[in-house]
Amino acid sequence: MFLFLQDLFILETMKFLDFKLILESPLDHTRYFIWGEEEYIKTRLVKSIVKKGVPEGLGEFNLDVIYADEISDLRSITDAILAYPVMAERRVVVVHNIDTLSPMAKKRMMGFSFPNTSLVVFTAGDMKMTSSFFKWLSDNFYTLDARPVYESEIWEWVINLAREKGMRLNRSLAVRVVSRTGLNLSVIDHELDKLALFAEDRPLTASLIDEVVAVSREAQIFKFLDALGAKDLLGAVAHLRTLLSYNEKAGQVIYITSRYFLQLITLYLMRATGASTREIKQLGIYYIGKKCEMLNNFKIKELYEVFKLLYEMDHSLKSGLISDQDALYKLVLGVCKK
């Protein structure tokens, strides 16, 4: 748990202005490593690099896109990198999911000599930063962070993405959008496209956002978490039923709930040790005021009991001892007991 707490403090995710600067800057490197679970960031960065790196009309001869989880031989990657460009300075080779290579393939990749005639882009999902493969990638590639954006910073992304579409949102309206979409940037971008289409010349208001922007599954999970934090049994059960109607996996709900209560424990401990408001805000926890209020519903012992219950439900699910539905209802009853 303490390692998890430590990760919570050191997490640094990409800011929108840095993202925009990368998109607008010329290519200064021949090797890029883009890692993290935010597909929107990864996709836009890869498209930007490819557009700058491949001469117009020559993509058929100078672009290879490979999925590492779909190949059986590392040579599919190395041969593409070693191939010469056609009527261009370099050929571009994009390899998605490089983290799925076998241990042996990773070892061979780390011993590979990259030619100057190729511009190489590797992408990956979430990775252990302590692994030797990650360290090799970050040491030898220009590394770009595409982990999910901090909850406390997502509104800045919404405001700036809306501006790209010709809309002006203030922070309150941006938060309103996020309350309905959740934190997934691809979902946010899609809903902002809808909002721009419907808004036309009308002023953007909270009621228009509620009318146009759909409530996503992720946002429904946040409503479920808020009900748990308030110990609202009837509300939590109602939102849980909605989640189950979406066929939401219990393991995913338990994972997100664990992060939520870990944040509550962190806030409780920081507040108990006299941390300043500024120090607490630096945690990057979204709706931090609401979560501080929720601490009034729990004693520290209860928070640890919730965490223990989450561990037990996760273990029982993975062991096949309980169904998804029973695990989640047991979780709700355990958290919301008075």
pLDDT of residue 12: 60
Alpha-carbon torsion 55, 21, 139, 147, what sign? negative
Which pLDDT value is given to residue 275? 79
Token pair belonging to 5: 């707490």
Q: What are the structural domains of the chain?
A: 14-145 (3.40.50.300), 151-215 (1.10.8.60), 218-336 (1.20.272.10)
Whether the pLDDT of residue 179 is over 80: the answer is yes
Model confidence at 57: pLDDT above 90:
no
pLDDT tens digits, residue range 229-239?
999 999 999 98
* 100, pLDDT greater than 70: yes
User: How confident is the model at residue 124, as a pLDDT?
Assistant: 96
pLDDT score, position 3: 34
Reduced 3-state DSSP string for 219-254 = HHHHHHHHHHHCCCHHHHHHHHHHHHHCCCCHHHHH
| Nearest in space to 164 (alpha carbons), one of 129, 189, 139 | 189
Q: What is the pLDDT of residues 258-279, one digit of tens each?
A: 988 988 898 888 888 887 877 7
Least confident piece of the model among 69-78, 128-137, 268-277: 268-277
Name the token pair of 125: 């999902």
The Cβ-side half-sphere exposure at 305, using a 13 Å CA radius, reads 11
Which residues, 6+ apart, have CB-to-CB distance to 197 below 8 Å?
Answer: none
